[in-house]
Chain A
């Protein structure tokens, strides 16, 4: 991004808006700070704020995102992708990929998961996420009547490097300049308006559809410091649905089901779970059968899942050097925290009633919008500074398959560290570097991020070559690794892409492919043009009605005002340019006689004192 100042002074190239995006497993939201307050935008024509993170690929190659896509899941389960966030940055052999779900994976791909869908080639989770981001971007542009170019996108604090890279790539693919990847719990804390005046230590318990995060944050004198973070990137409310579904299948002695049946059953299980937040008993109706379910049953089945979150919470407290009584507040995030058993569990765990004044579904997106504003709005630069951490230790494989940690988890970012290694054979001219992430002792139990070979080491006796491996983690929590041989001054630097990701070339190709979607962009631009036109014509009409009340008969005035109301409503709500253009045209027509009378009077005034034949 070149010269922000230049852009401000260039009226032809207005600087786009910066938004905050919560790219969730189940639902996604987009928000921006407007007149000092964060606000989420409606993502469907009904004014709903939650865009279901579901993408449907149609036979003709078109793509449908959101609620409509969810409806189509029953018809085309394998071409309707939900919860793709679980697959971000994961390889096809990852156990998390094998979880219950109606997907068909493309064969032959080694590094990235690819889903087989109708109407086109297999798609990666990055491309699917980019479709969701693109839809959110478009909705925000319609609401803001302006271009959206920059975004803060949230990720679970527990996301590893590969998952972060994948999220950033998805943003790029959707045409967004990703200002920052922000940890979801941190975003939630920001949304709670913890500003320069407030102080204290807070726990953020975030149980979403597919991920669980816990963070301990401390705010002192305008610095928001993440003390520790933890969680489980494969645990969430979807697992509650799965627990219900599994009991259902067990109860009716049903074996393995097809994709359509699984989808139907999971939808019924989710509906039952949601019903149980307000009633004590309900039924799960699916596959032509009905299964009674009580709140007590649900609580028993999800108890082991809640216990898993408890372990992570205690560890986060320990890492932050705190006892549970030392917290000033507990913030709940994520739709799954609506389950009464979850609230009770959290209150018990931290010995404190959780805060809940902000809608747990919106809180992350609102916080992301605040951070986007803090990063782009010069006037707010010195309000709050956020110091985030990396969630998992970063290390290297050493002899015997042991992981040596270079940067421990919960280290503040940006950060850097280096380690010197040596050769163990005479004349050894290359060294394999294996970068891993995780807390376990053995490399085999950690997440493999990248492997590369540093070659060109000059031949010398074992132990004499000195190879420095340097890790650098930027403010997004994304790692780059370089290596150089020190003793001879021979240096070679390599920046590594994660093993389970896409290469830059692949991303470029996808960007090129996305030009096919340019049609949507043209639509969006036309809509914006009509919105500007609507604003202009409304402004003129209001001014003229006020200036020449005597020139408009009451009946005509009513007609004009009705047409204005129509334009105003469509300016705010239309998702296509057509209806708005029609309304503008109608207003133009109905006010023509009035405008003609104004013109006539103006002409009359100019001509006063002159003879008609002098003019014509």
Chain B
């Protein structure tokens, strides 16, 4: 890909090697590519932090000249992507949702309904929610803590099940069994996450 400003070959560079202008990201780039990290279920934490800092220093709008409108827009876009990549890949849970999406199942979008959830899970989720609301209504901190500890353990179990299926899927992208296993585990995790968010929202009300 040639630099939009000076036409020098700039493929794979954040900045043009000749004129130093911020370059757009290649189409089809994943959030892993945005940070220049190897794609995978695991991410090296310190490497992630370092990549985020180094790339921010290169493409942040505050670092480019104020004169060139096109470069500023590119810098804002690149930085927004960088921030999204950092936010997504730093959290093991968000990272798992994202990997699953790369494998064609986007649980954070409206396709969520496509993944069937066992009725027993749904029923249990509803019941736990009711118990939580009761406890929050009574101001019963102990029960809230006990419930959220229980759900947190389940969330961790669901996440590690999803991660092991995703690892298989990363090796063999056509592994349909691994795909549905990962999707099912992440769908469970999503219910648990909703519950834990409701706990946090409850804490919020006390502030």
Contact = CB atoms under 8 A, between A and B. Distances in A.
Contacts, number: 75
A465 B63 CA distance: 41
A412 B204 contact: no
Nearest to A232: B207
Interface stretch (A90-98, A132-140, A215-223, A237-245): A215-223
A139 B18 CA distance: 45
A368 to B, nearest CB: 15
A3 interface: yes
A385 interface: yes
Nearest to B81: A416
Contacts of A417: 84
Interface string B97-132: 000000000000110000000000000000000000
Given A4-B67, A5-B67, A381-B63, A411 B83 contact: yes
A308 B110 CA distance: 39
B204 A440 contact: yes
Interface stretch (B33-41, B52-60, B160-168, B177-185): B52-60
A475 B62 contact: yes
Nearest to A371: B62
A312 interface: yes
B35 to A, nearest CB: 13
Contacts of A414: 61, 76, 79-80, 83
A306 interface: no
A204 B60 CA distance: 24
A111 interface: no
A385 B63 contact: yes
Nearest to A442: B201
A440 B205 contact: yes
Contacts of A5: 67
Interface stretch (A28-36, A41-49, A350-358, A419-427): A419-427
Contacts of B83: 411-415
Given A420-B109, A440-B201, A440-B204, A412 B87 contact: yes
Contact of B62 (A4, A385, A466): A385
B67 to A, nearest CB: 6
A22 B84 CA distance: 30
B77 to A, nearest CB: 8
A264 interface: no
Given A5-B67, A387-B56, A375 B200 contact: no
Interface string B154-194: 00000000000000000000000000000000000000000
B61 A475 contact: yes
A568 interface: no
Nearest to B61: A475
Contact of B66 (A4, A308, A420): A4
Contacts of A441: 197-198, 201
Q: How large is the interface on B (under 10, 10 to 19, 20 to 34, 35 or more residues)?
A: 20 to 34
A419 B109 contact: yes
Contacts of B80: 414-416, 472
Contacts of A315: 203, 207
Contacts of A411: 83, 87
A149 interface: no
B142 interface: no
A406 B139 CA distance: 29
A12 interface: no
Q: Is the interface of B mostly helix, strand, loop or mixed?
A: helix
Contact of A1 (B66, B110, B200): B66
A311 B206 contact: yes
Given A4-B66, A311-B207, A386-B62, A416 B197 contact: no
Indicate the member of B80, B110, B197, B201 with the most A CB atoms within 10 Å.
B80
A439 B206 contact: no
Nearest to B202: A441
Contacts of B203: 315
B32 interface: no
A474 interface: yes
A415 B79 CA distance: 7
A203 to B, nearest CB: 18
Given A385-B62, A420-B109, A312 B67 contact: no
Given A311-B206, A411-B87, A415-B83, A385 B57 contact: yes
B60 A385 contact: yes
Interface string B64-89: 01110000000010011001101100
B110 A312 contact: no
B188 to A, nearest CB: 20
A111 B109 CA distance: 34
B53 A220 contact: yes
A449 B66 CA distance: 30
Contacts of A225: 53
Contacts of A374: 62
B207 A223 contact: no
Contacts of A421: 110
Nearest to B76: A414
Contacts of A220: 49, 53
A412 B86 contact: yes
Given A415-B84, A475-B62, A222 B57 contact: yes
A8 to B, nearest CB: 11
B57 A223 contact: yes
B110 A420 contact: yes
Contacts of B63: 381-382, 385
Interface of A: 1, 3-5, 220-223, 225, 232, 308, 311-312, 315, 374-375, 381-382, 385-387, 408, 411-417, 419-422, 439-441, 445, 466, 472, 474-475
18 contacts: A5-B67, A221-B53, A223-B57, A312-B207, A382-B57, A385-B57, A385-B60, A385-B63, A386-B62, A412-B86, A414-B79, A415-B83, A416-B84, A417-B84, A419-B109, A441-B198, A445-B205, A472-B80
Given A385-B56, A412-B83, 9 more contacts: A220-B53, A382-B63, A385-B57, A411-B83, A415-B87, A417-B84, A419-B109, A440-B201, A475-B61
A-B pairs, 10 with minimum CB distance: A412-B83, A441-B201, A223-B53, A439-B204, A416-B80, A415-B83, A414-B80, A415-B80, A414-B76, A311-B207
